[in-house]
Chain A
Amino acid sequence: MTTLRLSLLSVSLAAVMLGCSQSNSDNTPLVPEIESIVIEGTDTIHAITIDSDDAQLVGRINYSDGTSATTYNELNWESNDTSVLTVNNGLITPVGNGGTASVSASYRDKIYTTLDHNVTLIAINDINITSIDLNITSSATDINQTGSYALIANGTFSDNNTTLNISSNITWVSSNTSVVTIDTNGLLTVIGDGSSDVNVSVFNDINSTLKVNVGL
């Protein structure tokens, strides 16, 4: 009886071994593979960023099935010269007044961009203070009423003397805050009689001064 049972087992084992199904002949993986990462975005940016959209780089991931997708926050971004610019989540932050740095992106320290992406900063050469509220002549203005007045800082850049409003991206300082104060966006507020220099500066070496004389 035991011999019969063992024979039955042997036959069954052989049947299953022969019956094990074969794999599908289509051997293309269902999950696409990552072929490359390419950085997309501007290769020039003004040294004072006006529009952050202009400063945003993205990584385009190309897949083996011909599709692609973009991302910026999944990648680890690096600048090879942080004295020129830094990059975080693909967003470029200018640090110096001009220069070129190479930006690369990586993922888990395994995939690197096939080519580094060079970004050149367009240097700012000059700043000019104007206002639509005040009459400014010879870098000076006279005010005889209390209130607040909007100052505008126009920056002139080295690319064909492009002029851009940079009022919100620079440093404003009043030398005499008992006369006028000024906020980070260039809004001047009259406090009392007297004179004060309003200075706007960027990168420590590009600056402009407006003399404000208040006589209430």
Chain B
Amino acid sequence: MRIFLVLLALSISLFAEHKGYVGFSIEDSSEYFAINGKEQFASAPQFKIKGGYGDIGGFSVEASFSYMDYATNIFSENDGAALMLDITVYKGWDVGYDLYPYLGLGIGMGDMKVDRELESSLTFSSFNFGGGIRYVISNTYDFDLGVNYKLRTWQTISLVADKINVTSHLINPYIGINYHF
């Protein structure tokens, strides 16, 4: 009961200050791989849901969960979908006209299904950097436009007699909408 009351009080407080938000974005995920002297671009739509807390014109922290499924095979004949979790800290500025440009810095991790002899999935971690601009549509909604760069380090792939370490470069332009409470 005590926990419930604390959470209720916290929710009321957040609502009153509009510091919490949830959102959704659609991204174009374009990732560059260079492995064993061969290179490949893979791209696919990426869908993200996110939630955060902070000031739109100041600092905020955001956790997001993304889904993506490249049609291009990178690691196996039947690569599957990837799920990602990112934690990002943003710094925004109020420049007037309901516009809030921002920069973000974060880390991420995820897992991609593959169909290899030795691996059924590959994990990865990432360093994320990006920026964008938020346009306040109403008291509770903002329109979000930006781009992220991710440096991904993939799980080492075993070829028995050899091991392959993969890093990739990912660019995510995105648009989205956030609901503030």
Contact = CB atoms under 8 A, between A and B. Distances in A.
A61 interface: yes
B143 A23 contact: no
Interface in A1-35: 2, 5-6, 8-9, 12-13, 16-17, 19-24, 26-34
Nearest to A36: B117
Contact of B41 (A20, A24, A34): A24
A interface majority secondary structure: mixed
Given A2-B137, A69-B162, A23 B70 contact: yes
B160 A13 contact: no
A111 B117 contact: yes
Contacts of A94: none
Interface string B153-181: 00001111110101000000111010000
A157 B32 CA distance: 61
A107 B160 contact: yes
Nearest to B24: A13
Interface centre among A5, A19, A23 (most CB of B within 10 A): A23
Interface string B52-77: 00000000000000000011111111
Contacts of A69: 159-162
Contact of B161 (A2, A12, A17, A71): A71
A98 interface: no
A60 to B, nearest CB: 8
B161 A13 contact: no
A111 B158 CA distance: 12
A169 to B, nearest CB: 31
A28 B73 contact: yes
Given A20-B45, A30-B75, A69-B160, 17 more contacts: A2-B138, A5-B135, A8-B143, A16-B173, A23-B43, A30-B40, A31-B36, A31-B74, A31-B75, A31-B157, A31-B159, A33-B76, A33-B77, A69-B161, A74-B161, A108-B118, A111-B117
5 contacts: A5-B135, A16-B26, A33-B77, A34-B159, A107-B158
Interface of B: 26, 28, 30, 33, 35-36, 38-45, 70-77, 79, 116-118, 135, 137-138, 143, 145, 157-162, 164, 166, 173-175, 177
